[in-house]
Amino acid sequence: MAAVGTVPARENAGKGAISIRNVTKIYDPEGVNVLAVDDCSLEIAAGEVCMIVGPSGCGKTTLLSAIAGFHSITFGEIYLDGELLCGPGKPLADQGADRVVVFQNGALFPWMSLADNVAYGPTVQGRLNKTQAREKALDMLAEAGLADVGDKFPGEVSSGMARRAEIVRALINDPKVLLLDEPYRAMDALTKSIMHEALLEMYDRTKVTIFFITHDLEESIFLGDRVVVMTTRPCRTKKIVEVNIPRPRDYHILSSEEFRLLVDEANEAVHEEAIKAFEAGERELA
């Protein structure tokens, strides 16, 4: 956690405000309409770490897919820095390297070395040539504590290393927004805590806007500036918990009173929704 206060040398620094306005998403698999997101609005400031929590199947991934351009939306609009991503007449956002996704199960290309994976974005966009991209990739991997594994394939390194490399692969594109869908879900507590510190360290350096979906409330308070609790399906914002714990943060805050109170506050809201979801007969998809 060295680079606190230094001005991040990023072209897209201070960008990445997301505005989700009255978004509705209806899936219609085989003619049956599923209302996944209903009239959901949310403003995310540039450089904010916005944590999204909510019961399983409530529509969090749907929202992320709409921002990333994987799925269309039915009504409403989404803006990025005032520019329309998707809305009436353009239901599907273009995919682009200004909004990079880190996937739940990891999506490093297993057929490329870690360095090639990281270098992929700049190369394929034609921003850097192969040699430059590789050099930059190795530098960035080293900054993330992955100095010696650049030439390994993702299948050869631990899941924690792979996940860190995947975040580096996203950050090398200087994205406006980093979209993470439960990236640490399958990890043990120790690896998770190392991942958190690595992510916070990268965030303190880049101040990139982060949209982070999780089920883990402690994680959400520890990492986030705000925790947005979603209602059970259809998805709307139920409650927003402001986390005013100063940065840089480290593991000492976990035992603080303030932290506990915030977790309780979020927990109450989530619990209420979880019970509603249960009563509505929705199965918890663990």
- Cβ proximity to Mg ion, 27 vs 153, nearer residue: 27
Cα gap 242→251, rounded to integer Å:
19
**Out of 2, 5, 29, 279, which residue is the one contacting ligand ATP (CB under 6 A)?**
29
Number of residues that bind ligand ATP (CB under 6 A): 14
Pick one of another protein, ligand ATP, Mg ion, none as the site partner of residue 285 (Cβ within 5 to 8 A by kind): ligand ATP
Options 17, 19, 42, 59; binder of ligand ATP; rule CB under 6 A: 59
Ramachandran quadrant class, 12 (left: phi over 0; alpha: psi -120 to 50; beta: rest): alpha
Residues of this chain that interact with another protein (CB under 8 A) are 68-70, 95-97, 99-101, 103, 105, 107-112, 120-121, 124-125, 153-156, 169-170, 173
Query: Judged by CB under 6 A, does residue 31 bind ligand ATP?
Result: no
State the alpha helices, DSSP H only, in 174-216.
Answer: 189-206
Residue from 61, 113, 173, 231 touching ligand ATP (CB under 6 A): that is 61
* Amino acid, single-letter form, for residue 177: V
Distance, in Å, from the CA atom of 11 to the CA atom of 33, rounded to the nearest integer, reads 42
Binding partner of residue 97 among Mg ion, another protein, ligand ATP, none, CB under 5 to 8 Å per kind?
A: another protein
Structure tokens at 175: 């994205």
Using CB under 5 A as the criterion, which residues of the chain lie in contact with Mg ion when the complex forms? Answer: 61
Q: Half-sphere exposure of residue 230, counting CA atoms within 13 Å on the CB side?
A: 31
Residue 101 binding result from Mg ion, another protein, ligand ATP, none, given CB thresholds of 5 to 8 Å by partner type: another protein
Select the binding partner of residue 111 from Mg ion, another protein, ligand ATP, none (C-beta < 5 to 8 A, by kind): another protein
User: What residues form DSSP beta bridges with 155?
Assistant: none
Determine if 117 is a binding residue for ligand ATP (CB under 6 A). no
Among 18, 36, 44, 223, binds ligand ATP (CB under 6 A): 36
Q: Which residues bind ligand ATP (CB under 6 A)?
A: 27, 29, 34, 36, 54, 56-62, 233, 285
